Chain A
Amino acid sequence: MRLRLVKQNTNFDFFGKWKLWLGISAVLVVLAFGSFLLQGLNYGIDFRGGTTIRTESTQPVDVGEYRDAIGALGLGDITISEVFDPTFGPDQNVAMVRIQAQDGEEAVSVAVIEQVEAALAEVVPDIKFVSVESVGPKVSGELIQTAAIAVLLAIGAVLIYIWLRFEWQFALGAVAALVHDVILTIGIFSELQIKFDLAIIAALLTIVGYSLNDTVVVFDRVRENLVKYKKKDLKEVLNLSINETLSRTFMTSATTLLALIALFVLGGDVIRGFVFAMIWGVIVGTYSSIFVASAILLWLGVKRDWTKPTDTTGNQFANVDA
Chain B
Amino acid sequence: MAGILDFAPAIVLLPFVSFLVALSVGDRLPKGGAYAGIAATAGSLILSVATVLTVAGGQTYDATIYTWAEGLDAVDLTFGVLIDPLSAMMLLIVTLIAFLVHVFSLGYMNDEGETGLPRYYAGLGLFTASMLGFVVADNLLMAFMFFELVGLCSYLLIGFHFREPGPPSAAKKAFLVTRFGDYFFLVGVVAVFATFGTAAFAGEGSFPALAEAALNGEASVTTFGLDPQTWFTIVGLLVLGGVIGKSAQFPLHTWLPDAMEGPTPVSALIHAATMVAAGVYLVARMYGFYALSPTALAIIAFIGGFTALFAATMGVVKREIKQVLAYSTISQYGYMMLGLGGGGYVAATFHLMTHAFFKALLFLGAGSVIIAMHHNENMWDMGGLKDKMPVTYYTFLAGSLALAGIFPFAGFWSKDEVLYETLIHGLGGSPLLLGAYAMGLLAVFFTGFYTFRMVFLTFHGNPRSQTARDPHGVRWNVKGPLVVLGVLATVAGVVNMVPIEKLFGIGGIDFLHQWLDGSFEGLTAHHYADLIPYSSSYIGSEATTVAVGAALSLGLALAGSGLAYLLYNVPEPVRHTDRLGRIKGLLYNNYYQDEYQVWLANGVTRPVARAANKFDGGVVDGVVNGVSGVSLFAGGRVRRIQTGVVSNYAALLTLGLTALLLAFGILGGWFV
Task: Report if A and B associate in a common complex.
Answer: no
